[in-house]
Structures are given as C-alpha cells and as structure tokens.
C-alpha cells in the first residue's frame, strides 16, 4: 500500500459540464445533484443535456470528424495521435485518478493501479489497429476483383455505466476512434466527471476538438436523445439488460442503428473437489465478488462447489470476507469500495432479505455495514442453503454478495452453472484438463476463465455476453471491426 496516494478531496477540480468542440459547456435549466459514494456529500450539480444540446454535440462531432480528416488521414498518423493521448493520460494520471476516486466507488489505490494505467493502455492498444485492419480481397471469378473496404460510421455514441467510468469509456472511445470515428459519450449521471477530464486531455494532447464530445444527463432525456439522433451511426452501451433493451427499441425507432451491448450477468464460479490449491482458488472466488464491492458486470456471484471441497473452501472464503478494509475512496488504506448510492444499497439489501426469507442462511454478512458514516457500504455476504429459484441466485445484485450451491459430480455441477437468462462469464476451477474442457464447451457464456477469474491487461481478448448478457464484443480486434462498416466493391475487367 502506498500511503502517499491519500489525498484531500476538497483540493480536486471538478469539471462539471458538457464538453463540446473542445470546450467545457455549462448547461442551463434542470440539473442533477451528484454526490460522493464514500460519504454522500455533494460534489456538484450536473446539467442535463436536452435534445438541442445533444444535437449540437453530435453535429459538432460529425463536422470535426469530417473537417479534421480523422477518418481519412494516414492511419499511422491517427495511431500516433492516439498514442500521444495515452501518454498525456499517464502524465496527468495522479489528477485523473483522484478525480475518479473522489467521484466514484474506486478506492484511490485501485484507481492508480488499474483505472488510470488501463485507460491509457486501452487507447494505445486500439491505436495499434489503426493500420492493421485493411479490409479484404474477395475470392471472385478471375475476370473480377472483389474488395471489402472498411469505413468508419462517422459518429459513434457511447453510453457508459458508473462502476468503472474511465476504463469503460476508454474501451468504447478507443475502439471507435481507432476505426476513424468521432465519439459522443454520455457517462453515468452518478459518475460523470472523469469522462470530461479525459475529453479535455484528448484536446490538450492534440486530438481534434469535437472528436470526443461529452453530453451529461440522465438516461431518459439525454441518453435517449443521443440514441435517437439521426447522425449517430452506431451505439455502444454497457449497463443493465433492461436499459439495453430500451436502447435497442430507440435504435429501431430511429433508423436501425447497429449496437454493441454489454449487459447484466449472474456468472458462476464452478469449483471441483480436485483443485490442487484451495487458498489460490479462494483468492479468485473472493476477488471476483469483493473487488469494487461486487459492482462489476463480470462478478462471479454464484459459487457452485463440489461437496468434497465445500467446507474447506467456505472456511477460507469467510476469513477473506471478514478481512476487508472499508473506507473513503481518498484514503490509500481503503481496500473495500462503497456502494455507489444509498438507493443501490437498498436494492442489494432487498434481494438479500428476500433470499433469507426464502430459507437461505447468511454465513457472514447479510446487511448494510455500520460505522461508515453517511457512505453506503454493504457487508461482504455469503449466502448458503441457496436454491436456483431464490432471488439472490437468480437476480443480478451488483453488490458483494456470493451465493453458494453444492453439487455431487460433474454433470450436476455443469447443469447448475448455467443461468436461464444470463451468460456473461464463467469460472471453472479443476485440476482435470478434460473436465475443464467439457465444462468450457457446455457453459453458455461469452467468456470462460479456467483456474483463474477476471480479465487481465490482455486487451486482445474480447469481452461480451451470450443470451440476455448482450450483443457483440468490447475489446479485442472484434471491437474495432464493430466500429467499421464494410463496403463491397466488384470490379469487372
């Protein structure tokens, strides 16, 4: 732990406004009061972009993309500018990390270890694709030449959630920009500020003004207007399944725009009794549900554990769950995040209480955490005696709540791992390679981690869900391709 990372939240500049054409734009009219998750104290009032402000941001982005030649310049030049942007993010990393920590659930130690460096690195990663995806020569008859030429859409809309504000926007803006598009981002109204600072850094680094615009506001007004704008060529969204469905409907009603949707999850951690190192597996299971207090779409929230290792694994997990270090996000000693809002904490608690009422038992935790002032913190919770129909095993919680189901034999374990609706990720822990591969083949999930859980900094592995967990992929080559449209050309000679 680097205690030097602690900071005074009062000393952090808050860029509260829209960001259009390289300028911070203060809104008029209605606002949203934004509070710090750590202690519920107010940060700033956020303007709500109406349809006219959204229109201004999108038209400006379209003009910036055209006039700057972002989509037509030498791809290596685009890559160079994106790398310069990444360098500039790192050069301003402390300031950016403090802003992220102050205004979201990310403890400063995590923000500096993960959010800031991975945001910079995502832009670098996508920059490398600028001159590597050149389309295709098709296998046509000899007297023809068939080409598949890729082109940017123009302006891509990115709508991001509150759990990892910086890194989510870097995935979406990075892929869109590498493909030659401008972006208009609408961050979550609960964590809106670091995205504006990121957009400022883009301009300071020499990217064309207007290429990365930000509109602030809620989903119903601002998000919806952005999705319906006729100049938006593609929408990229991460958030809940219900909102993803609303965005699909808005897209359908306004010109059938293509979508990338990363939605909810209820991902299993399937642990077999043959694991060679219980402590190591427990580390992956606990980390997957305690990191960011479980406010992670890929959280491994359902432990499916073979009976032979059940007791030993749970004893290890309870120790880990009881050792968390909650606190305010600007204290470097904090290791356990607050919940983003009191409302979200009440949602978590409602699911836990309904599950307890249905017959489950809390092995540890099971209620809001006392002694943390006005911040919303939830006790790390392990629920045992859970059946698949109970609310906590079925509904996405987005909190530090692990349900436990026990099984006998491979077939039963694999059957329990699948969720009827969600299919974002799965963890499989076993020493038997054949069993790991059978489970990998059987499980319906967009990502399967074997003998580990969670993404690494290998951005090359795409991420996205099956079933109601989403459509399309973020990260990887697939994310850049999704931000390009393909024109078929047939030449006869």
* Choice from 223, 365, 399, 427 touching ligand ADP (CB under 6 A): 223
From the CB of 219, what's the least distance to ligand ADP, in Å?
Answer: 2
Select from 68, 46, 47, 59 the least CA-distant residue to 20: 59
181-200 residues in contact with ligand ADP (CB under 6 A) are 186, 188-189
From the CB of 217, what's the least distance to ligand ADP, in Å?
Answer: 8
* Choice from 184, 246, 289, 356 touching ligand ADP (CB under 6 A): 246
From the CB of 234, what's the least distance to ligand ADP, in Å?
Answer: 14
| 19 binds ligand ADP per the rule CB under 6 A | no
DSSP letter string over 165-219?
Answer: HHHHHHHHHHHHHHTT-EEEEE--TTS-HHHHHHHHHHHHTTPPTTSEEE--S-I
Residue 162 or 407 having the CB closest to ligand ADP: 162
Residue 195 or 316 having the CB closest to ligand ADP: 195
Residue 54 or 305 having the CB closest to ligand ADP: 54
Sign of CA dihedral 71, 202, 16, 170: positive
- Alpha-carbon distance of 328 to 324, in angstroms, equals 13
- Alpha-carbon distance of 485 to 118, in angstroms, equals 27
Other beta carbons within 10 angstroms of residue 251's beta carbon come to 21
| Chain position whose Cβ is nearest to ligand ADP | 219
- Alpha-carbon distance of 126 to 464, in angstroms, equals 17
- Alpha-carbon distance of 306 to 271, in angstroms, equals 6
Residue 103 or 160 having the CB closest to ligand ADP: 160
Q: Is 297 a known active-site residue?
A: yes
Residue 109 or 222 having the CB closest to ligand ADP: 222
Residue 92 or 243 having the CB closest to ligand ADP: 243
H or E stretch including 314? helix 307-321
* Choice from 23, 50, 218, 412 touching ligand ADP (CB under 6 A): 218
H or E stretch including 158? strand 155-159
| 104 binds ligand ADP per the rule CB under 6 A | no
Q: Which residues of 416-450 are buried (b: 16+ CB within 10 A; e: fewer)?
A: bbbbeebbbbbbbbbeeeebbebbeebbbbbbbbb
Select from 125, 123, 129 the least CA-distant residue to 82: 123
Taking contact as CB under 6 A, which single stretch among the options 45-53, 169-177, 212-220, 453-461 is the one that binds ligand ADP?
212-220
| 331 binds ligand ADP per the rule CB under 6 A | no
Q: Nearest-5° angle of CA 100, CA 208, CA 162? A: 25
Residue 46 or 285 having the CB closest to ligand ADP: 46
Taking contact as CB under 6 A, which single stretch among the options 49-57, 215-223, 387-395, 424-432 is the one that binds ligand ADP?
215-223
- Alpha-carbon distance of 213 to 164, in angstroms, equals 19
Active-site pick, 130, 297, 379, 395: 297
CA 301 to the chain's CA centroid: 16
| 343 binds ligand ADP per the rule CB under 6 A | no
Other beta carbons within 10 angstroms of residue 485's beta carbon come to 16
Size of the site for ligand ADP (CB under 6 A): 18
| Burial of residue 468 (number of CB atoms within 10 Å: 0-12, 13-18, 19+) | buried
- Alpha-carbon distance of 374 to 106, in angstroms, equals 17
From the CB of 90, what's the least distance to ligand ADP, in Å?
Answer: 26
Taking contact as CB under 6 A, which single stretch among the options 124-132, 221-229, 329-337, 478-486 is the one that binds ligand ADP?
221-229
From the CB of 237, what's the least distance to ligand ADP, in Å?
Answer: 7
Residue 265 in tokens: 């999850």
Confirm if 447 and 145 have CB atoms less than 8 A apart: no
From the CB of 261, what's the least distance to ligand ADP, in Å?
Answer: 10
From the CB of 114, what's the least distance to ligand ADP, in Å?
Answer: 20
| 443 binds ligand ADP per the rule CB under 6 A | no
* Choice from 220, 319, 486, 487 touching ligand ADP (CB under 6 A): 220
| 254 binds ligand ADP per the rule CB under 6 A | no
Show the site string, 144-173: x = touches ligand ADP by CB under 6 A, - = not.
---------------xxxx-----------
Residue 269 in tokens: 């951690």
* Choice from 25, 81, 82, 247 touching ligand ADP (CB under 6 A): 247
From the CB of 229, what's the least distance to ligand ADP, in Å?
Answer: 11
From the CB of 342, what's the least distance to ligand ADP, in Å?
Answer: 14
Residue 159 or 309 having the CB closest to ligand ADP: 159
Interstrand relation of 42-47 and 136-138 (parallel, antiparallel or unpaired)? unpaired
- Alpha-carbon distance of 398 to 266, in angstroms, equals 9
Confirm if 303 and 294 have CB atoms less than 8 A apart: no
Residue 154 or 219 having the CB closest to ligand ADP: 219
Q: Is 130 a known active-site residue?
A: no
Residue 35 or 275 having the CB closest to ligand ADP: 35
The secondary structure of residue 34, as a DSSP letter, is E
Confirm if 458 and 473 have CB atoms less than 8 A apart: no
Catalytic residues: 262, 297
- Residues near ligand ADP (CB under 6 A) are 159-162, 186, 188-189, 218-220, 223-224, 227, 239-240, 243, 246-247
């Amino acid at each position: 732990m680097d205690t030097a990372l602690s900071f005074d939240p009062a000393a952090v500049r808050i860029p509260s406004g829209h960001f259009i054409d390289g300028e911070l734009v203060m809104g008029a009219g209605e606002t949203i009061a934004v509070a710090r998750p750590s202690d519920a104290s107010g940060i700033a009032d956020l303007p709500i972009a109406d349809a006219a402000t959204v229109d201004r941001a999108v038209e400006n982005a379209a003009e910036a993309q055209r006039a700057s030649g972002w989509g037509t310049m030498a791809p290596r030049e685009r890559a160079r500018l994106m790398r310069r942007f990444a360098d500039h993010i790192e050069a301003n990393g402390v300031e950016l990390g403090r802003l992220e920590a102050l205004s979201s659930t990310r403890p400063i130690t995590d923000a500096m270890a993960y959010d800031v460096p991975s945001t910079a690195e995502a832009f670098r990663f996508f920059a490398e694709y600028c001159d590597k995806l050149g389309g295709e020569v098709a296998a046509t008859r000899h007297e023809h030449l068939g080409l598949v030429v890729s082109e940017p859409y123009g302006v891509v809309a990115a709508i991001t959630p509150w759990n990892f504000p910086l890194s989510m926007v870097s995935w979406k803006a990075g892929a869109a920009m590498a493909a030659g598009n401008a972006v208009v981002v609408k961050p979550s109204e609960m964590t809106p500020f670091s995205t504006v600072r990121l957009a400022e850094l883009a301009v300071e680094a020499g990217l064309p003004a207007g290429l990365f615009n930000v509109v602030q506001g809620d989903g119903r007004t601002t998000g919806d207007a952005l999705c319906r704008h006729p100049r938006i060529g593609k929408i990229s969204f991460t958030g809940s399944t219900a909102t993803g469905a609303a965005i699909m409907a808005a897209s359908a009603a306004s010109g059938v725009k293509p979508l990338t949707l990363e939605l909810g999850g209820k991902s299993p951690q399937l642990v077999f009794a043959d694991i060679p190192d219980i402590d190591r597996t427990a580390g992956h299971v606990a980390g997957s549900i305690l990191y960011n207090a479980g406010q992670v779409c890929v959280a491994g929230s359902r432990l499916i554990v073979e009976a032979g290792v059940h007791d030993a694994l749970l004893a290890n997990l309870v120790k880990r769950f009881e050792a968390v270090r909650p606190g305010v996000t600007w204290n470097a000693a904090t290791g356990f995040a607050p919940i983003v809002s009191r409302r979200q904490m009440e949602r978590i608690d409602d699911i836990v209480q309904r599950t307890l009422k249905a017959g489950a038992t809390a092995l540890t935790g099971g209620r809001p955490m006392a002694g943390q002032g006005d911040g919303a913190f939830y006790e790390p919770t392990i629920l045992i005696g859970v059946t698949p129909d109970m609310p906590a095993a079925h509904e996405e919680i987005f909190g530090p709540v692990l349900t436990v189901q026990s099984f006998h034999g491979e077939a039963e374990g694999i059957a329990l791992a699948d969720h009827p609706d969600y299919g974002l990720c799965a963890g499989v822990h076993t020493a038997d390679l054949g069993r790991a591969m059978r489970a990998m083949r059987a499980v319906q999930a967009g990502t399967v981690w074997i003998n580990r859980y969670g993404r690494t900094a290998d951005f090359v592995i795409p991420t996205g869900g099956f079933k109601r967990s989403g459509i399309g992929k973020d990260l990887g080559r697939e994310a850049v391709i999704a931000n390009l449209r393909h024109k078929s050309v047939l030449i006869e000679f």
